[in-house]
A and B are shown apart, each in its own frame.
Chain A
């Protein structure tokens, strides 16, 4: 690999057509001898450091051919988050600076089309949401629901979403549920009120809105918890994917006790059957 010549230049002398905003926790090149500076550039294009004060300096890498530019860029920033890639590919000078296919072979392998499709809409979302996506390192596939919706349709929910302080898994699920409910025509008030609370509660409430028939069915089944189960059996309603039912925990210490429990359970079966017939 070529040794890359670097120099420090004043950021005011650089062009800032390539939008690549700094996120709260910028990715750095781990284990590299060079410290990633607060700002840096390829040729006269500023790559990062928009909020830097006047007089700050950027590490400048000479402008080269579009493939080498990708190599240089990769050396100082081997890991990019989805919002960072989206900002880059939306910049007017992206394709003049970088070999597009080579760029996508370094970041977002096999996701070129999906990233390109997502890029235009994603950068219109508020910076707070983009920061969350960046910090949690949310992947392109996880953000797929956002391709079906515009920022205008869901901007009311972003603040509430962030207030739930979701983990990556919770957040991805909440985002998808919000997109689905919005596209289903659920009112804004209903969605917002479902998100009033922590992520765990929001997720539960949003599922009630998204799966109303199944929730009714589950509620109905939960009613069977009131059957006269033997006292040595712990009953717990559970939904496991496409199946809902009861998790039964039994404790016995003798064959007599087991027999007694089985007999009791047979009575529960009859009770259950008769309830079903009377519906």
Chain B
């Protein structure tokens, strides 16, 4: 089946730099086939490699429009950053498989603004090595319920029509039914894998917000209705789903808008179809506010937010407001059905207790997510 790279992606990129070492990779071959010749440049080193230190706002913007296809030399498989802050945060057992870095979409709150210092978006072309690394771990611990996501520092699916990595990952995870793979996205790019037989342990998840927030803060992402439609198609094709209402963003109509979001999700999907719903409120590293101010001004619900430093160093809303927001969204779900599997992402034990009156280990549907597992990376 021919899966072309869509015109919107071809238009998006100013340049595709191909590392000479990646020239024979399937991803590079697809790029050469589908992108116009003038956008392709074969290089011996990373573009703008003389850059050191933090990125400026304009360098960050440029990095979103230029793609570098290159092999990755480090470790692909890592623990989710939240899990490394166990002293301050209550986190689930989540591992990340980084197959690239940077994102072609442009959310005002994106944490990559303070996380990345590479002047170019990257896709790692040596997925075979990534799968070997993962395979070794999976062989050793195939009976333990590890959860692995590919959407930490790059969207899992928004560039998938260039890489087609979803197809390889689905086939790989089929061999390890106790392990779960999560594709986390804000796009609606799913057709490239829907012809495959569904694997029960592959979860397609959407980071989602009410339409007003998507329109004002999540630039270049799939619209609300597009994400819902894509999720329905995945559910029909037999994939598990998850939704991440994260970050929940305060705005004057927040109650009305989050209530609408919950109404649509609970109308379109059943608790059986949705593996998990995670909730998180807006948070970012303090230094990120400067880049956000430069890139988005102050006429944004994110940059104008009232944020305060919290335990662990990130800026967050006032704790009482966070609690009110969690309670509200959670109660909206539970008012329709008590079986929704809801958890808080990267939150403190205090907020868990205030919002749920218990820790995640005391919530039947969440025990498996939070039960300590041996660290394997």
Contacts and interface: CB of A to CB of B under 8 A. Distances in A.
Given A148-B293, A244-B320, A113 B306 contact: no
A173 to B, nearest CB: 12
B318 interface: yes
Interface centre among B294, B320, B322 (most CB of A within 10 A): B320
Interface in A215-241: 217, 221, 239, 241
B6 interface: no
A217 B320 contact: yes
Interface in A154-213: 179-180, 183-185, 210-213
A113 B55 contact: yes
Contacts of A141: 287, 290
Contacts of A217: 318, 320-321
Contacts of B250: 213
B48 to A, nearest CB: 11
A217 B324 CA distance: 12
Contact of A113 (B56, B299, B310, B322): B56
Interface string A98-130: 000100000000111110010000000000000
Contact of A114 (B54, B304, B318, B319): B54
A243 interface: yes
A145 to B, nearest CB: 7
A212 B310 CA distance: 19
Given A113-B53, A114-B56, A184-B298, A243 B290 contact: no
A114 B59 CA distance: 11
Contacts of A179: 293
A113 B318 contact: no
Contacts of A110: 52-54
Interface string A133-157: 0000000010011011000000000
Interface of B: 50-59, 250, 287, 290, 293-294, 297-299, 304, 306, 308-311, 316-322
A270 interface: no
A45 to B, nearest CB: 27
B294 A148 contact: yes
Given A213-B250, A244-B320, 16 more contacts: A101-B50, A110-B53, A112-B53, A113-B51, A113-B55, A113-B56, A114-B53, A141-B290, A144-B290, A148-B290, A180-B298, A180-B304, A211-B306, A213-B321, A214-B306, A214-B308
B142 to A, nearest CB: 41
Contacts, number: 76
A110 B56 CA distance: 12
30 contacts: A110-B53, A111-B53, A112-B53, A113-B51, A113-B53, A117-B56, A117-B57, A117-B58, A141-B290, A145-B293, A148-B290, A148-B293, A148-B294, A148-B297, A180-B298, A180-B304, A183-B297, A183-B298, A183-B299, A184-B304, A185-B299, A210-B306, A212-B306, A221-B320, A241-B309, A242-B309, A242-B317, A242-B318, A242-B322, A244-B320
Q: Which 5 pairs across A and B sit closest by C-beta, in order of nearness?
A: A183-B298, A110-B53, A144-B290, A242-B308, A242-B310
Contacts of B51: 113
A221 B318 CA distance: 13
B275 to A, nearest CB: 30
A122 B58 CA distance: 18
Interface residues of A, number: 29
Interface of A: 101, 110-114, 117, 141, 144-145, 147-148, 179-180, 183-185, 210-214, 217, 221, 239, 241-244
A113 B54 contact: yes
Contacts of A184: 298-299, 304
A113 B59 contact: yes
Contacts of A180: 293, 298, 304
Given A211-B306, A214-B306, A242 B316 contact: yes
B45 to A, nearest CB: 17
Contacts of B59: 113
A214 B318 contact: yes
B56 A213 contact: no
A145 B306 contact: no
A184 B305 CA distance: 11
B154 to A, nearest CB: 23
Nearest to B291: A144
A230 B61 CA distance: 58
Nearest to B55: A113
Nearest to B117: A110
B49 to A, nearest CB: 13
A257 to B, nearest CB: 30
Nearest to B309: A241
A144 B297 CA distance: 13
A253 B53 CA distance: 58
A148 B299 CA distance: 13
A145 B298 CA distance: 11
B250 to A, nearest CB: 8
A244 B318 contact: yes
B53 A213 contact: no
Most chain A CB inside 10 Å of its own CB: which residue of B51, B304, B322: B304
A179 B293 CA distance: 10
B290 A147 contact: yes
User: Which of the listed residues B299, B309, B319 has the most CB atoms from chain A within 10 Å of its own CB?
Assistant: B319
